[in-house]
Structure 1
């Protein structure tokens, strides 16, 4: 498959049917064209009619609009397989993704998705979107719909009801099922429950993506569980935002990647996605034992008022600060969004302790974590991933690039820089500067590989007849600018982003919305 399009780049104009005499709608001239399949770039022109690539090669005539891409590269639009686009109705441009070159974003990760499913997708179809969007159905959402936050197995009737909701979402166009087994209520589920629900998604050709049950001390067991689900549900699996969390697990990617290779060797379809950073971001509740949160925030507050129970909760938080996402250092926990105390945004758990006049000890940190959750929670950035693991996973041929980013706008909280810089960071920092992976391979991991995972044959590569989702960028200057200290910065080096044949981002950063579509599995897009 890698060389399928090699014939398109021979210098001869190729197209479907006879070359027309009328001008094309849009032509891109003199570009270094990366096909998305991992091949080296070839100097070529590209012609677009409507939403489709009409011709590739040396064009005999021009277009109504022209982009001179001399000195620039063109790649298929980037496909982000893990995005938190819950605010899409509020930020339909999805500018923080679109300006990275993302032309298709997959929502509903980590077990959380919109519900009711089809009405939500129908509402999006009426909105002028920036990129294309697609969705997974979330296991946590469905379990919560049927069982709330109860820590127990479902009854046969409840399992049947959950299966029915998965079935409804798949019929409505979901691309698969996601789980967040580290989060509530997914943490209360057994593997048998997840397998039963995944079989429903598999019957529609869907995929399974998983925030593993553990990414720290239980990482190996978490990967094994995902492999078991791949085998018993007969479903393609993505280990989503794959990483090794916490100092005790640094280097564990050697084993997890070997596990993926072993699974694939026996015919199981297991892949990964990854963001290119040494910090994760999630709710501060990840430091709190799951049992303490059963039943919701009010029951949690009641437990804190019981001396013995509070002591047990604190012991669990202290353990996680020392061994898991806390990284053994309060400086490694950085606040992102704190609605009830916005002055903490960008500060660390250590900073908060000192602001309160407290010693920044593990014990103090645990008390503050418990207090934060009691006040309504907070989003935090956890600096607990090893750079060697990041690079090792990135080099694996079955690892795709995905941001795990949220939709953000300048000045809105203190987000993880991945929301602005994931794809340019891989191309600029990891490919061009460090040489971790070659540029054609980096682009493959952002385009044809995720497209194939979704079962899309008409996106993710540059071919005549494919949808015209394209990124025009400067391979010598493309770079992420967002940092953990100053995250609200758009990347550099991306000149144009084209969605379904429409120029949606221009060199001045201006955005045109409305070209994006809601993609539904099994439906024509």
Structure 2
């Protein structure tokens, strides 16, 4: 008597091999038998009638760290088939924490999520998530920015030898406590203040502990190729595998460069440097509005930035520089406000800065800077700038995995506010619906591998990501003819369609398309050797 028996499915095992008809039996949280037919019975028999049965999707680039504390159901992710969220990306991890940035984190938790800070160490944060319970599995990287803020705060300065070793000890401790590697966000101050040698030193520590290096590179536009070369250099000098995050080329003059950047990755692999990348399938990015402001003005943190923005002389210099830069990136109409904190500014959500400038009778740059001041640097934006042809090119490449670069959300509560990027709701369904079924950029087997077996290999997890007897039963069942993303930039809080069942560690979390409320997810900690599948 099995716990769950899935019958008559078209099985895609996550390795890239062709699908086959088969039944899958689950007991004790594990896959115990894959065969056709399985004649024994089970407490729950699910006849999937020729739909696709595959490993649960692994979101290799997620920002769900704090969202899982707000709403452990992970609605927007599990409803598109995700069973494992990988957090701590782009240099941002909620831990470790020291006095240097504790107050800022407390303020963020309270204002954005209504949470209290209850941890300081990396392992403590993982413990809290596991204790509260989650519907998906969770793994995390340690963020370079978090480590730097712990030691240096928000200062634009080079660390002393003592400072660097303090940071190294924090990375080492995080790795011992379960981190899967280290991440950087080299366009975000104070992470952007680090030079290459600093990153090599810290990445080397993570690499010695068996981790990988995920990087939001210094540039994804005019200097894309130089940024890829830096990422490769860090991997080579630190002796660590490299994951280039959300790979893309931003700005029309840079469209087409991804062919050269992908070639650089292949060349690096020929030299023995393990480099791969991930991608979300949209032509717009999303981040904080203050990222339009050059790095040097961020020295000292948000409070100091706002003081500078109020200084007429600095404002004049800054406005000229930002305006020139933004004209090169498509003007103000490509930037949409996705989230604000003040109720009186809610009308701005979903509108672009050109529209907002006209409505307020202000220059769009002035409108943006004044909004940053009024909202105390808590404004999120969506910015268009990528080419659809580049998306297909990157997606087809053998080194590319799929990652949302979004957080788990819901169409209710705190996580249902604003107009966030639709990638949080639709990434995996969009790949399977638009790019597999409609445009045939990938086969089903290729797409599933990029969402399962390949990211599991990058993480070094041997017992997930593949449908294999003895592996954990993280399983997604979807209708290949109906799966699609429904979230849009203007109506983003819409769940994906076509996901029929999602099993996490042997328990049904999505049953006939509906969330069961199960909190069967686990916090995963780095403790396994890497396996090779590419």
Give me the TM-score of the superposition, normalised by structure 2: 0.91
Q: Which moved more, 1:370-379 or 1:245-254?
A: 370-379
Alignment of 1:122-201 (within 5 A): 122-201=127-206
Give me the whole-angstrom Cα distance separating, in 1, the residues matched to 2:33 and 2:457.
23
Give the Cα–Cα distance (whole angstroms) in 2 for the partners of residues 371 and 265 of structure 1.
Answer: 50
Q: Are the equivalent residues in 1 in contact too, given 2:58–2:456 (CA < 8 A)? A: yes
Deviation at 1:508, TM superposition (A): 4.0
Instruction: Give the Cα–Cα distance (whole angstroms) in 1 for the partners of residues 229 and 259 of structure 2.
Output: 14
CA RMSD in angstroms, aligned pairs only: 1.3
Q: Secondary structure at the match of 2:3?
A: strand
Secondary structure of the equivalent of 1:27? strand
Q: Does 1:265 align with 2:265?
A: no
Verify: 1:90 aligned to 2:95, yes or no. no
Structure 1, 421-430 or 109-118: larger mean CA deviation: 109-118
Partner of 2:370: 371
Corresponding residue for residue 386 of structure 1: 387
- Tell me if 1:348 matches 2:326: no
- Kept in 1: contact 2:508–2:518 (CA 8 A): no
Aligned-partner Cα distance in 1 for 2:141–2:232: 19
Residue pair 2:464, 2:471 contacting (<8 A) in 1 also: yes
Partner of 2:469: 464
SS at match of 1:83: coil
Q: 2:52 aligns with which of 73, 76, 79?
A: 73
1:55 is matched with 33
Q: CA deviation at 1:523?
A: 7.3
1:184 Cα offset (Å): 1.1
In the TM superposition, what are the counterparts of 1:193-232 in structure 2 within 5 Å?
193-232=198-237
Question: Do 2:280 and 2:402's aligned partners in 1 also have CA atoms closer than 8 Å?
Answer: yes
Instruction: Name which of structure 1's ranges 477-486 and 365-374 shifts more when overlaid on structure 2.
Output: 365-374
**1:234 CA displacement:** 0.7
Give the corresponding residue for 1:112.
92
- The range that moved more, 98-107 or 365-374, is 365-374
Task: Measure the CA separation in 1 of the matches of 2:214 and 2:475.
Answer: 26
Native 8 Å contact 1:346 1:485 kept in 2: yes
SS at the partner of 2:515?
Answer: coil
Superposed displacement of residue 494, structure 1: 0.7
Cα deviation 1:135-174 (Å, max 9, x = unaligned): 1000000001100111111011100110010011000000
- TM superposition shift of 1:39: 1.3
1:65 aligned counterpart, secondary structure: strand
* 1:330 and 1:348 in contact (8 A); partners too: yes
| Cα deviation code 1:24-80 (max 9, x no counterpart) | 111000000001011111011000111100101121212111110113110100000
Match of 1:335 in 2: 337
1:404-458 deviation per Cα after TM superposition (whole angstroms, max 9, x unaligned): 0122221421111100000010011001100111110000000000000000010
Q: How much does 1:223 deviate? A: 0.8
Contact 1:139 1:179 survives alignment (8 Å): yes
Runs of 4+ with >6 A deviation:
none
Matching residue of 2:118:
none
Displacement after TM superposition at 1:330 (Å)? 1.8
Contact 2:499 2:513 in 1 (8 A): no
The answer to whether the aligner puts 1:409 opposite 2:413 as a matched pair is no
Displacement of 1:398 in angstroms is 0.6
Which is further off, 478-487 or 132-141?
478-487
Task: Give the Cα–Cα distance (whole angstroms) in 1 for the partners of residues 446 and 519 of structure 2.
Answer: 31
SS of the aligned residue for 2:68 comes to coil
Is 2:419 the partner of 1:399?
A: no
Equivalent-residue separation in structure 2 for 1:304 and 1:271 (angstroms)? 39
Superposed CA offset, 1:72-122 (max 9, x none): 110100000111112211111111111110000101110010222111111
CA–CA distance in structure 2, aligned partners of residues 487 and 229 of structure 1: 37
Matched, 1:39 2:8: no
**2 CA distance for matches of 1:146 and 1:515?**
36
